[in-house]
Amino acid sequence: DQQVKQNSPSLSVQEGRISILNCDYTNSMFDYFLWYKKYPAEGPTFLISISSIKDKNEDGRFTVFLNKSAKHLSLHIVPSQPGDSAVYFCAANRDTSGTYKYIFGTGTRLKVLA
């Protein structure tokens, strides 16, 4: 029973265009969301996060949007670069639980074409 879902296993985008990665969740108790990026043979690295009190957070080329009513978040990368090619994981947490236990999705493999 997956609480965090990434329904697109892969995505290809031309360099310079926008990449949009999507994530849905089912648990309305989640109040903190994160995106992680993973290169082969490396561990996941933190990219950007958003608290449920916000609907948007921006950091350079990366923006995360949260739609609480739809239980949906998305990661926008603009402009996309070949170095962005990686697997992106969406994760969620009950920030108030104090356990720091992250629930991850299955990942979306992004390929940015030069």
Partner 1 sequence: EAGVTQFPSHSVIEKGQTVTLRCDPISGHDNLYWYRRVMGKEIKFLLHFVKESKQDESGMPNNRFLAERTGGTYSTLKVQPAELEDSGVYFCASSREDGTGYTFGSGTRLTVV
Binding site for partner 1 (CB under 8 A): 2, 4, 9, 36, 41-46, 89, 91, 98-107
The type of residue at 100 is: Y
Which is nearer to partner 1, 63 or 89 (by Cβ)? 89
Strands 86-93, 10-14: pairing kind:
unpaired
Q: Which of 9, 19, 18, 13 is nearest to 114 (CA)?
A: 13
Phi, psi dihedrals of residue 100, rounded to the nearest 5°: 55, 30
Q: Which is nearer to partner 1, 4 or 21 (CB)?
A: 4
Q: C-beta of 104: minimal distance to partner 1 in Å?
A: 4
Q: Cβ closer to partner 1: 73 or 80?
A: 73
Contact 63, 75 (CB under 8 A): yes
Residue 6 Cβ vs partner 1, minimum distance, rounded to whole Å: 9
